[in-house]
Structure 1
Amino acid sequence: MGWASEELASIDLGDTRRNRRAIQLIERLAEHPTASIPGACNGWSETQAGYRFLGSETYDWLDILEPHRQCTQTRMAAHPVVLCLQDTTELDFNGQTIKRLGPLSYEAQRGMYLHPTYAVTPEREPLGVLDAWMWAREPKDAEGHRPGAPESLRWKEGYERVANLAGELPDTPLVYVADHEADMLELMVRARDLGTPADWLLRAKHNRALPGGEGKKLWGSVLESEPLGEVRFNLPPGRGRTARTVRQELYAQRVSLSDRRQGFLEVSSP
């Protein structure tokens, strides 16, 4: 029995043949992650069956993800702390004749966006994918506005899903971790209103003004405290930079932010 047979043992796509096809196709693609579907499959008949499977509208990607999500949750329960990481990536299909694609970073590009929640331990052991947002943007209108729901919702809803899961894992504290796009007061207020069932750690984007009317800002206030420690790591070379050793000091301080509704919101700022 292969790994996919074990991971997807509970898959239910309404037909045992579809279930077997899903497991086989996933194993083929995992064996050849950079190959095309014909390159990963064994022969033309298997390739055709793979395309039929992917083109079916009887089920969707969430049905395929569900057994893996269940296994991920089971693995999470065995750990004292789990980090739930969120970030967004572009799926670039520019130049391909695929329906219902949308703009990417540039309006002329075509593709989709994927925003998964990835569970890992603090020791960097991967546990699996919990859920994901996946969407195609609408083109901008004549006035430069993009119709549709605000894309920022993915961060707040991502926290809400982690918070819901925290209730099912009472012995495993969960930490929602997100990039600077998630530095939104709406997310912090939502976490507070839910009772903060999962901790959250956001990369700061805004040097927010602190209450008091003295011009005090978040980043300066945090840096006034004593450092908790230091980390060092090697930064690899990249576009316009050479490799170097980075030294970072760690700070933490509890501050109050105005939530514009009910006075102040207490947060810890690292």
Structure 2
Amino acid sequence: MALPDGRLRTRLIRLAEAFFAQPTATLSSALQGDAGQTKAAYRFFKNPQVTLQTLLQPHYQNTLARITAHPWVLVAQDTTSLNYAAHPATSGLGPINTRADGALGLKLHDSLALTPEGVPLGLVDIQLWARDAEAMGQARQRKQRPIEEKESLRWLTSFRRTAEFQRLCPQTRLVNIADRESDLYELFQEATRDPQGPHLLIRANRTTQRQVEIDEGIAPLWDYLPAQPLIGRQLIQIPSRGGRKARLAELALRLAPIRLQPPKRLQAEPIDLWAIHAIESCPPEEGDAVEWLLLTTVPTQTLEEASERLGWYAARWNIEVYHRTLKSGCRIEDRRLGDADSLASCLAIDLVVAWRILYLTKLGREAPDLPCSVCFEVDEWKALYCYTDKTPVPPESPPPLGDAMRRVAKLGGFLGRKGDGHPGATTLWRGLDKLYYLTEGFRIFHPSVPGGP
């Protein structure tokens, strides 16, 4: 652990345990209303040795170890806003929306490593900043500045961080994945400089008006790809979002190698990429058709390869689930601390707790037959089974993880009906809150059962 002071390390472990045991609790509630412990926590977050990146170093190292166990790993990057408008006394915040909106907070750009099946392996990069209020409303001037002076640099920073991980695990191929906002020519340039570096897969932004080289000259990318021959169809699960219901969509696929032309603002060479166009064949009457145009450095020449790239991009949704877990599950926007640096230090713990919740959610699906002791302490799983089975006698050996996860989720409101599928992160974090109190009661009446560290 990067913290030099043993007392700080002990405090960090205690806070991490408290935060995970009750992910939705406020700081004082997580510390059982102990005034001394709460005051010590505020001092900890205020300590200049305690920073966001220092606290995350052990997690980054563990992420790297998990990555090396897989042949292909996806690194999804995305940006979200943390709204602290309800805490106007906190110093060091900046605008997060429009000038007229007036909301204050921080911007968070994270990079999350995932297996192709969507199991989160951990964080690769975290960027956190407060916008300068005086720079708001200067869109025209920003367009003239180099990318090194723009917020857009965050996409390249994430890719460069992914490249650092790639050098440390050469047996694993990393693919950096991002949504339409990352459609930057400079990012393509970065991704094609080193053949041994990570690959890139992004969704093209129609508004960038990309041009590609063809036999007859130059053509718009969004005209060229949809005109290519149909190579097949692929089913993709579209999650619910806003007013959109979850559904299984059938997408028609087309692909082509392309030579992407640089924008006029750059003096640069064209870049060779592969492009995949996917559009929903029969969209619902009440909604728009799903349409993706993906650009990648990964060679893509067959229907099977195109379908795989489509699945990789669909796995990017897990970072949005991660953001929801962070905000609604860990309630990071409810943290009341005096300044942005203290919020950042507290956020480091919440970031790891949110990852662990999402990891447990996915692990319970992907490896349901593992013993639940891989994720729960003895007193936790025994308390869970005594309560849910309504018996004072706990099981002698750890039950399967999948069953334990469903029981925790039911504590959080998961109904578990035949058509309900797997429990999600929301019911899991609610269930973990209740499991904490069940475990505390179990320890009182079963003092011989060993507790957690």
Tell me if TM exceeds 0.5: yes
Matches within 5 A, 1:102-113: 102-107=94-99, 108-113=102-107
Offset, 1:258? 2.0
Determine whether 1:249 maps to 2:255: no
> Does 211-220 or 34-43 show the bigger shift?
211-220
Offset, 1:174? 0.2
- The question of whether the paired residues in 2 share the 8 Å contact of 1:89 and 1:115 is answered with yes
Distance 1:242 1:196, change over 3 A: same
What's 1:167 paired with? 167
What's 2:273 paired with? 267
Offset, 1:235? 4.2
What's 2:43 paired with? 52
What's 1:13 paired with? 3
What's 1:84 paired with? 75
> Does 210-219 or 122-131 show the bigger shift?
210-219
- Equivalent residue of 2:122, what SS? strand
- The question of whether the paired residues in 1 share the 8 Å contact of 2:213 and 2:258 is answered with no
Distance 1:19 1:242, change over 3 A: closer
- Alpha-carbon RMSD across the aligned residues, in angstroms, is 2.2
Q: 1:41-97 CA deviation, whole Å, 9 max, x = no partner?
A: 132211111111111112311111000100110010011111011001111100311
Offset, 1:227? 2.9
- Equivalent residue of 2:42, what SS? helix
**AA matched with 1:14:** P
- The question of whether the paired residues in 2 share the 8 Å contact of 1:258 and 1:264 is answered with yes
Offset, 1:214? 5.1
Unaligned runs of 5+ in 2: 143-147, 277-453
What's 2:113 paired with? 119
Offset, 1:12? 2.8
- The question of whether the paired residues in 1 share the 8 Å contact of 2:71 and 2:173 is answered with yes
Q: 1:21-60 CA deviation, whole Å, 9 max, x = no partner?
A: 1111011111222211001113221111111111111231
Which residue of 227, 234, 242 corresponds with 1:230? Answer: 234
What's 2:152 paired with? 152
What's 1:200 paired with? 200
Task: Tell me which structure has the larger Cα radius of gyration.
Answer: 2
- Equivalent residue of 1:98, what SS? coil
- The question of whether the paired residues in 2 share the 8 Å contact of 1:77 and 1:169 is answered with yes
What's 1:209 paired with? 211
What's 2:23 paired with? 33
Residue identity (%): 31
Matches within 5 A, 1:55-74: 55-74=46-65
Q: Considering Cα pairs closer than 8 Å and 6+ residues apart, tell me whether 1 or 2 has the greater RCO.
A: 2
Offset, 1:242? 4.9
> Does 67-76 or 245-254 show the bigger shift?
245-254
Unaligned runs of 5+ in 1: 1-10
What's 1:218 paired with? 221
What's 2:368 paired with? none
Determine whether 1:128 maps to 2:94: no
What's 1:5 paired with? none
TM-score (normalizing by structure 1): 0.88
**AA matched with 1:248:** L
Distance 1:30 1:150, change over 3 A: same
Offset, 1:134? 0.5
Q: How many residues align?
A: 259
Distance 1:73 1:218, change over 3 A: same
Provide the rounded CA distance (Å) in 2 between the counterparts of 1:122 and 1:234. Answer: 16
